[in-house]
Amino acid sequence: MPTFVARSGLRTPEERARRRARYLSGLLWHTGAFLIINAFFWILDLSIGPGGLEWAFWITLFWGFALAFHALAYYVDGRGIEERRYLRYLEEEKRRD
């Protein structure tokens, strides 16, 4: 079964709600790990680095980009864009036949 069919409106509301809850849980764990681990890196970098702010900045920057994309993926999926597109394309295909 193609991916877009498996993720479309053909699933039950319970399955869609469970999927969104799982995505949110993953996002929250990612955010928590980001905050705790980066706080440790900043403390470590500032305490042992000669000039401070040498390498923790780069870890936070790139990991922050990854976290931003994770949040964006949750936000976009939550708006049902994929499902709306699927239904639109399905209607277009039905009109062609």
Print the SS3 string covering the chain: CCHHHHCCCCCCHHHHHHHHHHHHHHHHHHHHHHHHHHHHHHHHHHHHCCCCCCCHHHHHHHHHHHHHHHHHHHHHHHCCHHHHHHHHHHHHHHHHC
Query: What integer pLDDT is reported at residue 78 of this predicted model?
Result: 62
Query: What integer pLDDT is reported at residue 75 of this predicted model?
Result: 82
pLDDT value at 6 more than 50: no
State mean pLDDT over 3-31.
74
pLDDT value at 3 more than 50: no
Query: What integer pLDDT is reported at residue 1 of this predicted model?
Result: 31
Query: Which residues form the domain of 45?
Result: 3-96
Domain count, the chain: 1
Cα–Cα distance measured from residue 29 to residue 20, given in angstroms and rounded to the nearest whole number: 14
In tens, the pLDDT along 39-68 reads 999 999 888 877 766 889 999 999 999 999
State mean pLDDT over 9-37.
85
- Where is pLDDT greater, at 77 or 14? 14
Q: Residues for the chain: how many in total?
A: 97
